[in-house]
Structure 1
Amino acid sequence: MTSLLLYQRIAHQLAEDIRQGVYLPGERVPSVRKLSQQLNVSHATVLQAYANLEDQGMIRARPQSGFYVHHTPALTAPTPDIALVERPALVTRSSIINRMRDAGVVVGPDEVVITHGCVDALQMSLRVLTRPGDLIAAESPSYYGLLQLADLLGLKVIEIPCDPDTGLSLDALQLAASQWPIKALVLTARLSNPLGGSMPDVRQKQLLKLAARFDIQIVEDDIYGELMFDQGPIRALKANDQEGRVIYCSSFSKTISPGVRIGWILPGRYREEIQRLQTFSTHSACSVTQMGVAAYLENGGYDRHLRSIRQEYRKNLSAFQLAVQRYFPQGTQMTRPTGGFILWVSLPARINTKDLHALALEKGISIAPGLIFSNTEQFNHCVRLNCALPWTIEAERALKTLGELAVQLCRQAA
């Protein structure tokens, strides 16, 4: 079974085409409609692939004409010291252990399993916990990659409502668990995607009690955890796990670079099963990259980098929020993230953001419409904005244009 999701395979092939010169810098890649027809996949899948390539800095949208190859070297970890390369992979595990202490988690080197990114970690976790046909629970709205991963593994997903301020609805989870045999719950306790919310410590403990009552195993995706603006108040869910019920997954792809595919699992009670599964994995993290990242973590460069991007993202989010408040239709609501670079915007219900996406793309503006974050249609009026790019005059113009397009759609639907 392939370990790549459908949207990842599409993104990977396009990225390879770009590297091989099939599409040159400045050249247009196929439109969403054309590529979906060529590959016989949904528009949502192509949108996910293009969002992935945008995150890697490989493509950019241009006014009136779609997506083009964008040649910008991605931020990567520094070149490792030769002496470090000769040291065992324990260096990376030790570095991760030190990072985990900041999240409130204390583990030993033998409890850390290195993976090829966070999606690989999530996939192995779910393969250990479930079988095709099983039911899992997930936050709603949810990370689109998780929805595709569940489909790839033949799993059914029940979507549990999530609040930007308090996290997963425990009442809704309890109701679902009392009616259906939920094998596992996948959630992000710190800075969920796309809401950007976090679950307070007291609710984390309540969740673990509920999971124990119904014997639900938990997979925690903490890929954004180190981007919290204030590190003290909220720890990882794994920090409160006394039973080994939580399998913790994370990666450096959101903090160092999308190209740094080094992730890890803290498997808890499932260590042997995860290690056995990894033995047959088709992916393994490059040892040289591991050593480079380890050096970056140990010499203080990573901490300086985190402080810098947290400050930058905080400023960007504030600027984006003010622009949405100023330019978007009356009745628009948005989240107030306490970290990261994602802003979730709820437009008036009569707007379909799939239409907004098409209009925006004609203006060279790329957004992630709400339809890709759920298997239902309940978020069709929502949009996720990526605030990682610097706030500039051009960014404000783009938000103003996006708001004007949303106002236009509002009037047409009235």
Structure 2
Amino acid sequence: MNDVAPPRYQTLAHELRQAMGDGRLPPGERLPSVREAAKSRGLSINTVLAAYRQLESHGLIEARPQSGYFVRSRLATPPAPNFGNEPAPAQAAETQVLSRIATVIAAQSSPDNIDLSLACPKGGDFYPGERLSRLVSELARKRPGLLTDYSLPPGSLLLRREICRHAQELAMTLAPDDVLLINGCMEGLQLGLRAVTRPGDTIAVESPTYFNLIPLAERLGLKTIEVPTHPDTGMSLDALELLLSEKRVQAIVAMPNVHNPLGTSMPVEAKRRLANLAHEYRVPVIEDALYAELQYATPLQPAVKAFDRDGWVIVCASYTKTLAPGFRIGWMEGGRFKRELAELKFCSSVSQPALLCEALGVFLENGGYAQHLRRLRRAYVGQIDRLRGLIDTAFPAGTHATQPTGGFLVWVQLPEGCDTNRLFDDAQARRISITPGTLFSPSGRFGRYVRLSGCYPFSERHVHALMTLGELAAQQL
């Protein structure tokens, strides 16, 4: 008997699977559209669609609304941190961690280095620079008083109104009179901590956490307790509640939406519980919402502030990652600490630049910001796919990486036997800069982890640097 030929859709699916296996279709690659594939192969649209759906059901490709089908990465997600059953004791940051942070920042500042980790988008592809430049010039010509007037706290009313309007996308209902304009999120974190703590107090931080928070806490004379934080579930709220019930912390700092360095977000119910814990134990939460508007999915997940019942959540955000890093304009809403924050802001930096604040306000008012954000989110989805694909190709077997739900950062776990502090030194010798995982823990945890960034054009030079980094990691094994 003659063998019966397999259905044509299965033949196509097999060919595509082989192309994925041998690298001709790398992770993150966009497949031809259904119509393109049907036309080029002389197949019906239904045949191609059946092949794509079979590959999708096997987890090999994924469909994205209005974008098409893409090859999925094979990288697994890093496991949850294991800190044991009891929360870690309060402590000051390790001297080695503070020293390494200074070393890495110096490397990031060198124009000779290729930086694969810096969380600062590079190039005009990620910012509406020309449009903002025209707005600033036009406002300076029409309203020259903006160049000579102080914009004392709380700052530009137009911008504060627009901030409140856009905050509704994160389910926050804010009033312009309660919004305070600041110099980026770092000033917001500093003002928030100064308002709710005193030297010698202890704060709960995520682990891993944003590394610049570590020297900030040290400068303010604060101790930290690390709370295990998982890419899928966020900060361990059971561990946090134990700390709160024992009165071991005076404040909590968290980045629930699009976490740095994880790139993922806390589930909605966990955010609600975090706000309830702050209310129940009367301990403030300082919510860093820097990347919250860069979530990929729409509608956006709410901020923890959306569930704040009695002003115990302080939220801060900035336009440095989305619009204009050079403007250094951010905002915060301080809840019950509104007055202290305004006074601290005046003592700290007095005012914000009136001209730049008004320009941002006009940009947001005219609808330019919403349009820009939609384009930016689409761009970062592609950037992250390309980055994870390169990691999958270049790094040694056993490497894990988070699957971000927003922004442009990926948290990478290297196999047992790798040391990213040593990897940093080896990469530096080749003019490549990275951010080792130990920077994201006051006690120096995460020695096998590294934060990588996808907020730069993937030039041949950058791709070669990523490949070199993977080779250096493999050499450690």
CA displacement at 1:62 relative to structure 2: 5.5
CA displacement at 1:383 relative to structure 2: 0.3
Aligned-partner SS, 2:250: strand
CA displacement at 1:351 relative to structure 2: 1.3
Aligned partners of 1:296, 1:233: CA distance in 2, in Å? Answer: 21
Aligned-partner SS, 1:139: strand
State, as a whole percentage, how many aligned pairs show the same letter.
Answer: 38
Residues 104-119 of structure 1: pairs in structure 2 closer than 5 A: 104-119=171-186
Higher relative contact order (CA 8 A, sep 6+): 2
Change in CA separation of 1:347 and 1:275 when aligned onto 2, cut-off 3 Å: same
Aligned-partner SS, 2:476: helix
CA displacement at 1:283 relative to structure 2: 4.7
Corresponding residue of 1:396: 463
TM-score, normalised to structure 2's length?
0.71
Letter in 2 for 1:348: P
Larger radius of gyration: 2
Corresponding residue of 1:9: none
Instruction: Give unmatched runs, 5+ long, in structure 1.
Output: 1-40, 64-70
Change in CA separation of 1:85 and 1:149 when aligned onto 2, cut-off 3 Å: farther
Per-residue deviation, residues 317-346 of structure 1 (Å, max 9, x unmatched): 001111212221122111000110001101
CA displacement at 1:404 relative to structure 2: 1.0
Per-residue deviation, residues 371-399 of structure 1 (Å, max 9, x unmatched): 21111232111100011012344333222
Identify the match of residue 386 of structure 2 among 307, 310, 319.
319
Matched, 1:409 2:466: no
Corresponding residue of 2:216: 149
Bigger Cα displacement from structure 2, 290-299 vs 110-119? 290-299
Identify the match of residue 275 of structure 2 among 203, 208, 217.
208
Instruction: Give unmatched runs, 5+ long, in structure 2.
Output: 1-97, 116-121
8 Å CA contact 1:62, 1:363 repeated in 2 = no
Matched, 1:261 2:313: no
Give the ranges of 4+ consecutive aligned residues of structure 1 lying more than 4 Å apart after TM superposition: 71-76, 83-88
8 Å CA contact 1:261, 1:285 repeated in 2 = no
Identify the match of residue 233 of structure 2 among 160, 166, 181.
166
Matched, 1:61 2:128: no
Residues 11-160 of structure 1: pairs in structure 2 closer than 5 A: 42-51=99-108, 53=109, 59-61=111-113, 76=129, 77-78=132-133, 79-80=135-136, 81-82=138-139, 83=142, 89-160=156-227
8 Å CA contact 1:92, 1:290 repeated in 2 = yes
8 Å CA contact 1:343, 1:385 repeated in 2 = yes
Matched, 1:376 2:433: no
Corresponding residue of 1:360: 427
TM-score, normalised to structure 1's length?
0.81
Matched, 1:175 2:175: no
CA displacement at 1:314 relative to structure 2: 0.7
Aligned partners of 1:320, 1:128: CA distance in 2, in Å? Answer: 39
Aligned-partner SS, 1:385: strand
8 Å CA contact 1:341, 1:386 repeated in 2 = yes
Aligned partners of 2:106, 2:250: CA distance in 1, in Å? Answer: 29
Aligned partners of 2:210, 2:255: CA distance in 1, in Å? Answer: 10
Aligned-partner SS, 1:114: strand
Aligned partners of 1:283, 1:166: CA distance in 2, in Å? Answer: 39
Change in CA separation of 1:172 and 1:60 when aligned onto 2, cut-off 3 Å: farther
Per-residue deviation, residues 232-289 of structure 1 (Å, max 9, x unmatched): 1511111111111100101101111321211111111111111222232235221111
Corresponding residue of 1:339: 406
8 Å CA contact 1:62, 1:362 repeated in 2 = no
Per-residue deviation, residues 24-77 of structure 1 (Å, max 9, x unmatched): xxxxxxxxxxxxxxxxx82421313544x47xxxx35159xxxxxxx9789543
Aligned partners of 1:312, 1:48: CA distance in 2, in Å? Answer: 27
Corresponding residue of 1:11: none
Per-residue deviation, residues 179-212 of structure 1 (Å, max 9, x unmatched): 3421110001101111112111111111222233
Change in CA separation of 1:402 and 1:283 when aligned onto 2, cut-off 3 Å: farther
Identify the match of residue 296 of structure 2 among 229, 237, 255.
229
Change in CA separation of 1:49 and 1:176 when aligned onto 2, cut-off 3 Å: farther
Letter in 2 for 1:173: L
